[in-house]
Each structure stands twice: as C-alpha cells, then as structure tokens.
C-alpha cells in the first residue's frame, strides 16, 4: 500500500460473472491499481492484455504457488464458483501469512449482518463463519480485515431463470401478498460498486464514511433497484408486449407458507428447497431482503449511477424487441 490507497489486488476467480465485471471496472479505474488474476492451471479463461494486469495460474491447494501469488498484495478478493468454495479458507490463511491486510470473501448475497437473514437461511451460515475466521486470523496476523459485499439476488440471472416467481414464457406468476420491497443488483452495478469502493482512500480524517476503513469488517451494500414482485411483473409485461389479462397470476400463496414448505423440503434432503428458502427471505416483508437505506448511502458515497429497470428487464426477457 502507498499513498493511502490500495495499489495491488489479487482477484481469485476473475473469469466468473462477478470477477470479470469487477476486473473490467478496476482496469478502467483512474487509480493505478495493479490486478493479479489467479486461476486454476486447467482454466481456459482468457483475459485482456493490460499493463496493470498479471495472470497467474496454479493450484489453489499449492502453498508455494499461493505464497508467490499473494506476496506483496494489499488485498485479495474472492469471486469463486460454488464448486470451489472449499478452497477459500486455506487461501485466506495463505494470504494472511503473505502479509495481505484486506480480504473480500465470497459473499455476494444478502445482508450478512441481518440476524433474520443469517439465522433463517442455511446458505448464510458458512459465509458468516468465513468472516469470523478472518477475524480469528487477525489475532495472529495484525491488521487483517474483511469487507463483505451484499448484492441480494442478481437481477438478470434470477429473472431469466424465473426465480422471482415470474415465468415470461408461460405467462404465469406467483405473487405473494405478504412479500415486500427487496433489493436486487445487476452484474454491471456489482462490479462498478466494488471497483469504486476499492479506489477510496484507506483513511480519510475529514470524512471516514468516504474511506475504505469504514468498510473494514463491515459490508458494502450494492443495489440497482428496490422493487416489489408487482413492479417486476409490470416491467416484464411491458418488455414482452403483453397485458395483465393475458397472464395467469396466482396470489393465493404466502411467503410464510413458502418458508414452511421449504423447511420441510430441507429436512427431506431437497436441496432445491434451499434456493426457495433464500428467495422467500429475500422477498418476504421484514425478513431482511430490504437494505435500501444502507444501499442508498453507499450509492451516494461511491457516486453510482441510476439504472433503468425496464431497460434491464427488456434485455433479459424481451429479446431486444
């Protein structure tokens, strides 16, 4: 670190959805941040040629490779696929041993500081344990800190896979009367927000809120929109050129019932019920899926632009029509 800014970042999983968009925005940052993209030796991913980008390939299980890859880095960001998550903790320890002071763990989901969300949804438990692990390591490796990134559901991915209860192909929708407004983020916004946060001065005596120190052992709250199911449905109908009368909309179910159903499914080993439970908590009123007040403040600090919901939705379901 020099000049009160992060200058060297190792990005593990730079070819994935979040990793690639973050890499793009970091390379376009006016701040001279050097990126080391770390990937497995058998990866076929390609990366742009850039004077501030180094690509290293090696085994995530090789301590020697990790020691070399993390040496001299100020921050390590993880954007791993679900299948590679077991490698995260050993890599975090390797980063700490190498002298790295900042860790961005594999979060990219809901508000990890919301008690309802963390205790109600099984997938958030391991994420909390990873953050606690960083804090434990900080007892041995002074100055080690984590920064969580809350994104809530990825808008394009989840809408395209009908995870919001809206099926644009069949023209059916399940709208839950006890659902509320919830935050959702585009990949573009996630990458931009992370890049702008990492470009902040590490400390700012005049305004700590506008410093990286503010985010130490804290969360960045990313959001493109705070919407209801009804607002999403209206946007989908606009994008597809359809009217409400053409749709079959079921409003007989409740989020409460959905949660109970998913919990029973999990007891029987139905892993799909885990996805359902996660989205029930995202969309259910008062369950933790609305962090708009926090996201609004982060948008202000980072100067993030507004996005157009109809434009994004049309790109997903409208076929460019």
Is the domain spanning 8-153+185-221 CATH 3.40.50.620? The answer is no
CB 135 within 8 A of CB 50: no
> What percent of the chain is modeled with pLDDT above 70?
98
Give all strands (DSSP E) within 32-109, no chain letters: 34-39, 53-57, 75-78, 102-104
pLDDT over 90 for what percent of the chain?
94
Specify burial of residue 237 (Cβ count, 10 A radius: 0-12, 13-18, 19+): buried
Q: Is the pLDDT of residue 245 over 70?
A: yes
Burial code (b: 16+ CB inside 10 Å, e: under 16) for 184-222 equals bbbbbbbbbbbbbbbbbbbeeeeeeeebbebbeeebbbb
Higher pLDDT, 298 or 3: 298
* Confidence band, pLDDT 50/70/90 cuts, at residue 192: very high
Give per-residue pLDDT as tens, 138-183.
999 999 999 999 999 999 999 999 999 999 999 999 999 999 999 9
Residue range 204-219, pLDDT digits in tens: 999 999 999 999 999 9
pLDDT for position 183: 99
Note whether 59 and 41 are within 8 A (CB): yes
pLDDT at position 321 over 60? no
pLDDT for residue 320: 46
Among 83-92, 144-153, 275-284, whose mean pLDDT is lowest?
Answer: 83-92
Q: Is the pTM of this model over 0.85?
A: yes
pLDDT tens for residues 42-84? Answer: 999 999 999 999 999 999 999 999 999 999 999 999 999 776 7
Per-residue pLDDT at 230: 98
Query: Does the structure show a pLDDT above 80 at 276?
Result: yes
Report whether pLDDT(137) > 90. Answer: yes
Q: How confident is the model at residue 26 (pLDDT cuts 50, 70, 90)?
A: very high
CA-nearest of 188, 174, 152, 229 to 315 is 188
In order, the DSSP letters of 172-203 are: EEE--TTB--EEEB-HHHHHHHHHHHHTS-S-
Would you kindly state where each structural domain of the chain is located, as residue ranges? 8-153+185-221, 155-184+225-289+306-317
φ, ψ at 124 (rounded to 5°): -85, -15
pLDDT for 86 equals 87
Write out pLDDT tens, residues 248-269: 999 999 999 999 999 999 999 9
DSSP 197-239: HHTS-S--SS-GGGSGGGGTTEEEE--SEEE-HHHHHHHHHHH
pLDDT digits (tens, 9 = 90+) for 214-239: 999 999 999 999 999 999 999 999 99
On average, the pLDDT of the chain sits at 96
**Cα pseudo-dihedral 310, 312, 315, 318, rounded to 10:** -30
| pLDDT at residue 1, as a whole number | 58
């Amino acid at each position: 670190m020099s000049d009160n800014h992060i200058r060297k970042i190792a990005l593990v999983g730079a070819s994935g959805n979040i990793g690639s968009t973050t890499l793009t925005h970091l390379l376009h940052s006016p701040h001279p941040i050097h990126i080391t993209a770390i990937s497995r030796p058998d990866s076929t991913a390609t990366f742009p040629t850039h004077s501030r980008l180094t690509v290293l390939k090696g085994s995530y299980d090789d301590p020697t490779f990790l020691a070399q890859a993390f040496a001299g880095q100020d921050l390590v960001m993880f954007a791993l696929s679900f299948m590679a998550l077991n490698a995260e903790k050993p890599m975090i320890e390797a980063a700490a041993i190498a002298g790295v002071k900042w860790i961005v763990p594999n979060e990219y989901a809901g508000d990890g500081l919301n008690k309802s969300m963390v205790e109600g949804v099984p997938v958030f438990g391991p994420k909390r344990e990873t953050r606690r692990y960083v804090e434990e390591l900080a007892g041995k490796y002074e100055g080690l800190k984590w920064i969580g990134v809350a994104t809530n559901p990825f808008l394009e991915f989840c809408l395209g896979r009908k995870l919001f209860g809206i099926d644009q192909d069949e023209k059916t929708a399940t709208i839950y009367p006890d659902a509320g407004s919830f935050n959702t983020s585009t990949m573009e916004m996630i990458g931009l927000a992370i890049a702008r946060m990492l470009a902040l001065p590490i400390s700012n005596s005049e305004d700590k809120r506008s410093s990286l120190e503010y985010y130490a052992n804290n969360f960045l709250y990313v959001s493109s929109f705070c919407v209801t199911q009804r607002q999403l449905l209206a946007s989908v109908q606009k994008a597809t050129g359809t009217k409400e009368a053409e749709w079959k909309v079921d409003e007989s179910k409740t989020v409460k019932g959905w949660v109970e159903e998913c919990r029973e499914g999990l007891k029987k080993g139905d892993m799909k019920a885990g996805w359902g439970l996660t989205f029930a908590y995202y969309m259910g009123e008062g369950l933790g899926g609305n962090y708009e007040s926090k996201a609004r403040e982060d948008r202000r600090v980072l100067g993030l632009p507004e996005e157009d919901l109809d434009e994004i939705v049309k790109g997903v379901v409208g076929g460019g029509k």
